[in-house]
Every structure is written in structure tokens, then in C-alpha cells.
Amino acid sequence: MRGKSLGQWFLLFVALVFITALGTVSSFVLFTLANYSDTRERLVSNIRIGDTVETNKELVRLHYFYDLSKKWKVQWLADEYLFTDAFFYGIADSYLIRDWGKIIDDKELKNRLDDSRSYIYGNAKFRQAQAQYQKGDTKNALNFVLTEVASDFEKALRNCLEASPYDNKCFDRVWNYDLATNKKDAEEALKNPQQGPKPKFVLGPIKDKNAPPMLVPGDKDKKGEGSEGIDGKGGPKSPRKRP
């Protein structure tokens, strides 16, 4: 049997180098994606429990991965599949530290109000009205909630239901809508800083086709759920401040 020629040995060497390089790159990419996934899970968890310090740390780490996608020239791919919720994580972080003005004035958020994840916009406006009420401007604050905030809550509820008509994750939007359209409940919530909209930071509804479709409450359904919310625990607790 004839031995391999010099050219054949060279091609074999090139193939082995290519396979080794491909394996190394693939391992690095998979390792990076695993770290990204862990960071995202920790971020969502910290947002849900209201830990402002850890949320900020995980947001910084998330920005690192986004900058890495730019460096690798795959930002378009990352935007499409990995960072679809990233903007809303930043908005949730602003809500946790009670920066209502930053949320309300955010131009990009205003351009995304048809997105079901933008419901926190109305929540921030309610909290701002709550602060206005506490300063003594009770009449204007209450009127603002019963008109403008109520409209925002209705839009948020419709967005949630349109995203998934069989979704059973819209009950917080229903509660917010009932609150802002019931004068007695709205005023009670404005009086108590610990009460009001109950954000759950559900970024993207989870479909449940076995649940019955929900309807936007009409005037006859505006009974309200009381000043303490559905579960009787009131609004979100005061967040820990960052150092």
C-alpha cells in the first residue's frame, strides 16, 4: 500500500487544525451563552424579589454580554434572539428604585406602549400621582388617576390580552384597571404609599390555552378589588436603596 504524499499529509494537518479551532470556538461560544443565561436568570429573579442592589449588578453584567456581541459583530443576532427583553429590564430597575420620572419621560418606552411589556408606564404615573397626593395636591392627583392613568391601565390590559387571549397572567392588569376606575379605591390607594399598582414584572406573557379567554371589564364590572389588591397584601414593599 502506497504511503501518503506530502500534499495529503498537509491537507490532513489543515483539517485537524480546522476541527480543533472550530471545537475551541464552539466551546467558548457555548460557555459564554451559558454565562449569559445564568446572568439573565439572576437578573429576573432579583427584579421579582425587589433587590435593587443585585439587580443593578446583573444589569452591568448583561451590558457586558451586549458589548461582547458588538465586538464579535453579531449584534443583530443578539438583538433578535438574546436581548429582546433587555430594555424592559432597565425600566423595571428604574421602577424598583422609584425613579418614576425617568420611566415616564423615557422616549423609547413611549414608542413601545403597544407592547404588553410596557404596562409599567402606567404604574409609574400612578406612583407619581401618589407622591403628588401626599404633598397635598389631592384633587389634581385623584383626577389624574381617574382619567389619564385609567386610560394607560386599560391600554396595558388590552395589550396583555391581545398578546395572548387565553393568558391567565393578566390579572394584575385587571386589578390595576379596576383600581383606577373606582374613585373610592383609587383615593384609598393614593393615601397609602404602600398601596397601588402591583407590578409583577412578567416580561412576555406565558400562554395557557386551557384557560378561558378574558374580557376587558366594562362599566358594569367596575366593582374594584379593595384597597389592598387581589391577595390582600397591598402594593410592593419599599425597595432597598443602593449604596
Q: How far apart are CA 18 and CA 10, in angstroms?
A: 12
Check whether residue 58 and residue 121 sit in a common domain: no
In a domain, 233, yes or no: no
Q: Could you tell me if 150 and 201 lie in one domain?
A: yes
Q: What is the pLDDT of residue 21?
A: 76
Q: Mark whether 57 and 163 lie in a shared domain.
A: no
Burial environment of residue 14 by CB neighbours within 10 A (0 to 12, 13 to 18, 19 or more):
exposed
Chain segment 92-115, per-residue pLDDT in tens: 999 999 999 999 999 999 999 999
Of 12-26, 35-49, 133-147, 190-204, minimum mean pLDDT range: 190-204
Print the domain residue range for 17: 7-84
Does any domain span residue 237? no
pLDDT (0 to 100) of residue 165: 66
Give the pLDDT confidence of 105-157 residue by residue, as tens digits: 999 999 999 999 999 999 999 999 999 999 999 999 999 999 999 999 999 99
When the pLDDT of each residue in the chain is averaged and rounded to a whole number, the result is 79
Domain tally for the chain? 2
Q: What is the pLDDT of residue 14?
A: 74
Q: Is residue 49 part of a domain?
A: yes
Whether residue 183 is found in the same domain as residue 217: yes
Q: What percent of the chain has pLDDT over 70?
A: 73
Does one domain contain both 183 and 213?
Answer: yes
Q: What confidence score (pLDDT) does residue 207 get?
A: 37
Domain presence at residue 231 = no
Q: Which three cell numbers stand for residue 221?
A: 364590572
Same domain, 113 and 206: yes
- Residue 222's pLDDT is 41
User: Which stretches of 50-145 are DSSP H helices?
Assistant: 52-71, 75-81, 86-96, 100-104, 107-110, 120-134, 138-144
Residue 11 confidence class, pLDDT cut points 50, 70, 90: confident
- Is 239 part of any domain? no
The pLDDT tens digits for 158-213 are 999 888 766 567 888 999 999 999 999 999 999 987 776 755 543 333 334 444 44
Q: Same domain for 198 and 130?
A: yes
44 and 138 co-located in one domain: no
- Asked if residue 208 belongs to a domain, the reply is yes
Residue finishing a domain among 84, 107, 127: 84
Instruction: Based on the fold, state whether residues 106 and 79 are members of the same structural domain.
Output: no
The answer to whether residue 235 is domain-embedded is no
The residue-averaged pLDDT of 229-233 equals: 33
pLDDT of residue 203: 38
| Per-residue b or e along 57-87, where b marks 16 or more CB atoms closer than 10 Å to that residue's CB | bbbeebeebbeebeeeeeeeebeeebbeebb
Instruction: Point out the least confidently predicted range of 21-35, 90-104, 124-138, 218-232.
Output: 218-232
Task: Please indicate, yes or no, whether residues 72 and 28 belong to a single structural domain of this protein.
Answer: yes
pLDDT tier at 53 (50, 70, 90 boundaries)? Answer: very high
Is the pLDDT confidence value at 214 over 50?
Answer: no
Q: How far is CA 145 from CA 5, 130, 148, 186, in A?
A: 83, 9, 6, 7
Torsional class of 167: left (φ above 0), alpha (ψ -120 to 50), beta (otherwise): beta
Give me the pLDDT at residue 240, please. Answer: 41
Expressed in percent and rounded to 5, the helix, strand and coil fractions of the chain are 65, 0, 35
The pLDDT assigned to 20 comes to 75
Q: What's the pTM?
A: 0.70
CA distances from 116 to 8, 17, 119, 156, 168 (A): 60, 49, 6, 6, 14
Check whether residue 175 and residue 132 sit in a common domain: yes
Within a domain: 238: no
Q: Do 69 and 149 belong to one domain?
A: no
What cell does 128 get?
A: 407619581
Question: Around Cβ 56, how many Cβ atoms within 10 Å?
Answer: 15
